[in-house]
């Protein structure tokens, strides 16, 4: 089973405008929605929807924290969160005339003792895999992720970017950078798919058994002992891409949990992510067609 750890959850607010953003005037949204978000939380919702045993942990506080807890309970997601004093952040995606603006808050400041509390929650579940997803709130350093990775005999998957990804020091089963994060972390030229696979390959030497690089509309690359695989994205009408990376990773993990090889896992990831980008926000989409969508994903070896 999988435990997800989200140090910095978020309520995802998605607002849609049918005109371009403009300064110094009131913009009135046509549509708005709130979803429980944060990388590990999105993954836990998707994994639960795909019938994979999963428990969501992380840090929650304030009215936004209560919203996330209630939403997950309503979705039948098992939870084991740690309460914090501050208020969980609210992240906003504004879609205006086909442009996407992502406005993410820093989150509440927390003390390092939360890492011990979270490790306790994780150990209590005896998981096979632990996914640590998202940014760190103020007060925590990359050591908070390394400590989860070194805290038991589970395989740890990490989905974070920026300096945090560069500074991780433990042994990981997988990391999932997007193209920008992969380029930033390696300094490599990631303008081509081959360049991304090369960068992923070199990144493996830093302690990651596999690297799953998401390339937006260009698809995804998975590099590991089974080879260098590239999957094209499906041709779909995109509403917004928030949660796309979490969906890709959830599909891959779901397939691995069912015993699939890397190629099938990559296909599944692309299929799940295409369902998420077809609709606004980060709520769980319709996953009934995943098997047939997966069969339509083109994969080649690089
Ligand atoms: N414009 C798009 N068209 C089709 N699929 C997309 C598009 N954007 C994202 N996806 C799918 O979502 C996956 C993850 O997207 P990406 O934007 O790279 O992740 P992240 O949210 O981590 O930045 C891609 O690998 C792809 O399968
Ligand atoms: O922790 P970060 O990096 O600020 O990201 C948090 C945001 O990312 C999301 O998990 C979506 O992530 P992806 O678009 O990478 O899949 C949102 O639910 C959340 O608001």
Q: What is the pLDDT along the chain (302 residues), one digit of tens a residue?
A: 999 999 999 999 999 999 999 999 999 998 889 999 999 999 999 999 999 999 999 999 999 999 999 999 999 999 999 999 999 999 999 999 889 999 999 999 999 999 999 999 999 999 999 999 999 999 999 999 999 999 999 999 999 998 999 999 999 999 999 999 999 999 999 999 999 999 999 999 999 999 999 999 999 999 999 999 999 999 999 988 999 999 999 999 999 999 999 999 999 999 999 999 998 888 899 999 999 999 999 999 99
pLDDT at residue 97, rounded to an integer: 87
Q: How many CA atoms within 13 Å lie on the side-chain side of 119?
A: 16
- Residue 267 burial (CB count, 10 A): 25
What pLDDT was estimated at residue 98? 82
Q: What is the pLDDT of residue 262?
A: 98
Nearest bound ligand to the CA of residue 6: 2
| Ligand 2 mean position, distance from CA 8 (Å) | 9
What region, left, alpha or beta, does residue 238 occupy, with left being phi > 0 and alpha being psi -120 to 50 degrees? beta
Beta carbons within 8 Å of 45's beta carbon, 6+ residues apart: 36, 56, 72, 75, 77, 283, 284
48's enclosing H/E stretch is helix 39-49
CB 272 within 8 A of CB 251: yes
Task: Please classify residue 193 by burial: count the beta carbons closer than 10 Å to its beta carbon, then call 0-12 exposed, 13-18 middle and 19+ buried.
Answer: buried
13, β-bridge pairs:
34, 92
Q: Is 220 in the pocket of ligand 1 (CB under 6 A)?
A: yes
Cα separation, 96 vs 17, in Å, equals 5
Q: Please provide the distance, in angstroms rounded to a whole number, between the alpha carbons at the two ends of the chain.
A: 31
Selecting among 146, 159, 246, 262, the annotated active-site residue is: 246
Q: For strand 99-103 and strand 89-96, is the pairing parallel, antiparallel, or unpaired? A: antiparallel
How far is the centre of ligand 1, averaged over its atoms, from the C-alpha of 241 (Å)?
6
Give the 3-state secondary structure of residue 78. strand
Q: What is the pLDDT of residue 281?
A: 86
Q: Ligand 1, residues 214, 252, 276, 285: which to mutate, most atoms within 8 A of Cβ?
A: 214
CATH-assigned architecture of domain 2-21+29-301: 3-Layer(aba) Sandwich (3.40)
E strand or H helix at 93, and its extent? Answer: strand 89-96
Closest CA to 145 of 124, 106, 175: 175
Whether 246 is catalytic: yes
Which residue is closest in CA terms to ligand 1's atom 1? 217
CA of 270 to the centre of ligand 1 (A): 8
Cβ 217 vs Cβ 233: under 8 Å: yes
DSSP state of 242: T
Q: Is 216 in the pocket of ligand 1 (CB under 6 A)?
A: yes
Give the residue, out of 178, 271, 277, with the most ligand 1 atoms within 8 A of its beta carbon, to mutate for a pocket test: 277
40 and 134 in contact (C-beta within 8 Å)?
yes
CA dist 130 and 154 (Å) reads 7
Ligand 2 center–CA 37 separation, angstroms:
7
Q: Is the CB of 274 inside a 6 Å radius of any atom of ligand 1?
A: yes
Question: Cα(30)–Cα(18) distance, rounded to whole angstroms?
Answer: 7
pLDDT of residue 267: 98
- Decide: 254 and 293 in contact? Cβ < 8 Å: no
């Amino acid at each position: 089973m999988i435990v997800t750890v989200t140090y910095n959850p978020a309520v995802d607010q998605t607002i849609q405008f049918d005109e371009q953003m403009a300064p110094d005037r009131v913009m009135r949204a046509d549509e708005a929605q709130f979803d429980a978000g944060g990388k590990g939380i999105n993954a836990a919702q998707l994994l639960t929807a795909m019938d994979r045993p999963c428990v969501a942990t992380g840090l929650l506080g304030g009215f936004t924290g209560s919203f996330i807890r209630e939403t997950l309970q309503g979705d039948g997601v098992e939870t084991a969160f740690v309460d914090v004093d501050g208020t969980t952040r609210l992240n906003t995606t504004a879609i205006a005339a086909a442009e996407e603006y992502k406005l993410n808050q820093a989150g509440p400041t927390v003390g390092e003792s939360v890492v011990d509390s979270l490790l306790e929650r994780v150990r209590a579940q005896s998981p096979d895999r632990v996914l640590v997803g998202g940014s760190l709130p103020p007060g925590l350093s990359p050591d908070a992720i390394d400590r989860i990775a070194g805290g038991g005999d589970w395989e740890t998957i990490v989905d974070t970017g920026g300096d945090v990804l560069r500074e991780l020091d433990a042994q990981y089963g997988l990391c999932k950078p997007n193209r920008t994060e992969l380029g930033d972390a390696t300094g490599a030229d990631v303008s081509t798919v081959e360049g991304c696979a090369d960068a992923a390959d070199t990144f493996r030497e830093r302690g990651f058994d596999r690297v799953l690089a998401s390339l937006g509309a260009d698809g995804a690359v998975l590099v590991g002992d089974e080879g260098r695989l590239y999957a094209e994205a499906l041709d779909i009408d995109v509403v917004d891409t928030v949660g796309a990376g979490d969906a890709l990773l959830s599909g891959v993990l779901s397939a691995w949990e069912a015993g699939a090889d890397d190629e099938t896992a990559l296909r599944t990831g692309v299929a799940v992510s295409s369902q998420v980008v077809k609709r606004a926000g980060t709520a769980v989409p319709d996953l009934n067609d995943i098997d047939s969508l997966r069969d339509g994903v083109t994969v080649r070896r690089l």
